[in-house]
Amino acid sequence: MDVGITIRNMGAASTREEMLAAALAAEAAGFESAWITDHIAIPPDDAEGSGGRYVDPLITLAWLAGATTRIKLGTGVLILPYRGALATAKQVASLQELSAERLLLGVGIGWMDAEFRALGVDRHQRGRISDETLAFMRRCFEDDVVEANGQPFLFKPRPPAPPIYIGGGFPHALRRAARYGDGWLPMRLTPQKLAERRKVYAQMCAEVGRPVGEIIAMGGVDASDPDAARAALEEFAEAGASRFVLGFRYASIDAFKASIEPWVDLLEDGRLASA
């Protein structure tokens, strides 16, 4: 099982110095991937924990790509209806090429009413917009010449497409993952619930004639007891997850480094080491 970790691109811990230090520390500790989240317009009455500060995910990952060499770079998740389809596809392709194909593209449809209002986007259309963006993005990575709004154009650079993982609520995210994704990105599920929903995901993939994609589980695991942490990840692996992304809050880079220190002995080349 590959093991990734979230890095805070929000709040006080999202300065350029602290994000860079966290990414380098995660790479040095042996994590396979580093993941960040996406918000674009936090209202004043809902800013607890972040102060309304969120650094753009694609720009942040592009910057971290230039400072790291091995660790993969993930969005967990990029909200598709917040951005135009063509501009997003261009940014994703550019990041994939400049990072030497290290991008792991987790996507979602969003949920915060205030952000949709600030953007002037109908929240009730977010599923349709996301599906259209995903279908368009697929076309962009399949051919140099793409058409949008009746206008053919050259889509370059066109590196190999990054894997696309669909996050979101059950069952809509599973259906979207089966149709458009390379995998499913559930958050905060128990291994038991993950195994149950994997069966539904497999059935939906079969219905549209596509193979079952990779499953990435995101959540928290306490590594203060290494044996218990290993057992917890092995449960997720048995439930069908091939990657686990560790998430936790931290207030400073020192707190981040202290939290990941127990993981050093649990990891080998980005994966859960053998017992």
Place of tokens 């499913």: 184
Tokens 């993982």, located at residue: 165
pLDDT tens by residue, 206-230 = 999 999 999 999 999 999 899 999 9
Q: How confident is the model at residue 35, as a pLDDT?
A: 98
Supply the pLDDT for residue 186.
96
Contacts of 122 (CB under 8 A, 6+ apart): 116
- State the pLDDT confidence band at 6, using cuts at 50, 70 and 90: very high
Q: 100-157 pLDDT, tens per residue?
A: 999 999 999 999 999 999 999 999 999 999 999 999 999 999 999 999 999 999 999 9
Query: Mean pLDDT throughout 44-48?
Result: 95
pLDDT exceeds cutoff 90 at 197: yes
Q: Which two tokens stand for residue 179?
A: 């149709």
Question: What is the model's pLDDT at position 63?
Answer: 97
Ordered by where they begin, the domains of the chain are 2-272 (3.20.20.30)
Q: Is the pTM of this model over 0.85?
A: yes
- Given this model, what pLDDT does residue 130 score? 98
**pLDDT of 169 strictly over 90:** no
Q: What is the mean pLDDT of the chain?
A: 97
Mean pLDDT within 29-55: 97
Q: Above 80 in pLDDT, residue 275?
A: no
pLDDT cut 70: percent of the chain above it: 100
The pLDDT of residue 190: 96
* Contacts of residue 74, Cβ cutoff 8 Å, sequence gap at least 6: 4, 33, 34, 35, 36, 103, 104, 105, 106, 245
Give me the torsion for CA of 117, 122, 123, 128, rounded to 10°: -150
Given phi > 0 = left and psi -120 to 50 = alpha, else beta, which region is 174?
alpha
Q: What are 157's two structure tokens?
A: 């650079």
pLDDT at 214: 97
Q: What pLDDT sits at residue 65?
A: 98
pLDDT of residue 274: 84
Q: What is the pLDDT of residue 253?
A: 97
